A = this chain, B = another copy of it.
Amino acid sequence: MTAERIKLERLKDKVMTVQEAVDFFENDMVVGSSGFTKAGDSKVVLEALAERAKNEDIKITLMTGASLGHDTDGKLAAAGALKKRMPFQVDRTLRNKINAGEVLFIDQHLSESAELLHNKNLPAVDIAVIEVAYIDRDGSLVLTTSVGNSATFAELAEKIIIEINTAIPMEVYGLHDIYKPENYPHRNVIPIVAPWNKIGRKTISVNPDKIVGIVFTDKKDSPADIAEPDAKTTAIAAHILNFFENEVQLGHLTDRLQPLQAGIGKVANAVLMGFKNSNFYDLTMFSEVLQDSTFDLIDAGKLSFASASSITVSEECYERVFNNLQRYRDKIVLRPQNISNTPGLIRRLGVIAINTAIEFDIYGNVNSTHLAGSKIMNGIGGSGDFARNAYLSIFVTQAASKNNTISHVLPMVSHVDHTEHDVDVLVTDIGLADLRGLAPRERAQKIIENCVHPDFRAELQSYFDRACDRGGHTPHLLEEAFSWHLRLAETGTMKKLT
């Protein structure tokens, strides 16, 4: 196994136990780990660090691609091992620690962490932990199910710890396209003009002298939670597909559409599934995550190519992909997240971006991250990278939830992640509001008519009307703007008790 997976002779004596590897960590270090939306993350070293932190005062700053699987973030947080965390997380335990002020979190656009590191706008990385399928003859790294920020961490870290994951077939070689934009001040063009362009290397080049430890694992990625479409997500998907069909009829788009980006989750899944029985064909994706629906659409002959930074799928799909890599390898590519999510490429390719909101307001401002203005759920992820630069920026959410006590369309969002300037289309299960070419007062009326749950419509109309009476380009009643959030906190419902 060692011979097969470590092809550079002089690295073979770096194999060690996880316990030995975890000794390299010291208090206050900055650690960069592979892992993007639960894919290709550290399976054993970070977990062992959490164990060590149970009995020792050791706190690190942890940077990753995006979220980690296997409750690793939760274990680290519970053990008090995290001082600071960026750029994304989805873990309940960690979230609670962040909201309690016990862990500092930086919620970053996913394209930007690597930029900030290369530009020295963040502290230097002490240790990189990188999951690989194997180490090639030149000492370069063949990655697994994600690329994330691994190329940046490997380049900039003082020391590198490798996790060789033998659960990943070595045939994964060639799935990755590793490209690094030049450092400032002399940066060139990133030469991608279509999702399928491959412009870089298949492996991450590293200085082998920086590799201080190699451990073996055979743990698979945490599987994605795939929720079947329900009535609401099916309704949202139908509104979006209908909108696309109309755009084609108007001659704005062809049946091929333009490269698609879809956030993670039920709605994105339902939308992509909706393409299966549609007239659209030869679709492509330029996204950040490949989910089950991606492979379903490839199998259905609808999707020709998908570019992203990770493969995050269910157990069933994981087996399907890795037992049939030949079927998929010319149809997918995994890129560093500063390439998959880079603003210039999203604009150049004319991406159609579909992302999920927690709530939006009558003027089209979107909150993707916070509850009641203060408490974070996950993070902005790549939604800002895509929404800001997309050809079409679509946000979706359910109109109401919790037995219709909560409206997700509000007078004013309690936290803004995407401003009205960057939002083209809003969709709920109730309907779709096409906001292109509309001024704020027009946007509000359309959103109220098309997207709001009927239980809340009159009340929202009343807010808007009374705000208009007072005047303004974006009429608001500041003393009442958060009254729905406050009522929910006080009474358990956003509805006025009559």
Contacts and interface: CB of A to CB of B under 8 A. Distances in A.
Given A121-B436, A388-B388, A416-B416, A373 B476 contact: yes
A392 B108 CA distance: 15
B365 A416 contact: yes
Q: How many copies does the complex hold?
A: 2
B474 A437 contact: no
B374 A467 contact: yes
Interface string A342-353: 111101111000
B389 A473 contact: no
Interface residues of A, number: 87
Given A421-B417, A472-B374, A119 B391 contact: yes
Contacts of A187: 193, 348-350
A485 interface: yes
Interface stretch (A40-48, A171-179, A234-242, A438-446): A438-446
Interface in A181-235: 181, 184-191, 193
Given A184-B391, A185-B256, A343-B344, 19 more contacts: A98-B473, A99-B473, A119-B391, A121-B436, A122-B436, A181-B348, A184-B258, A184-B350, A187-B193, A187-B348, A188-B348, A343-B389, A344-B347, A373-B474, A375-B471, A376-B473, A418-B419, A478-B485, A479-B486
A106 B186 CA distance: 36
A286 to B, nearest CB: 12
Contacts of A105: 439, 473
A104 interface: yes
A482 B478 contact: yes
9 contacts: A104-B439, A105-B439, A106-B439, A121-B252, A121-B437, A187-B349, A374-B476, A376-B474, A482-B482
Interface string A285-327: 0000000000000000000000000000000000000000000
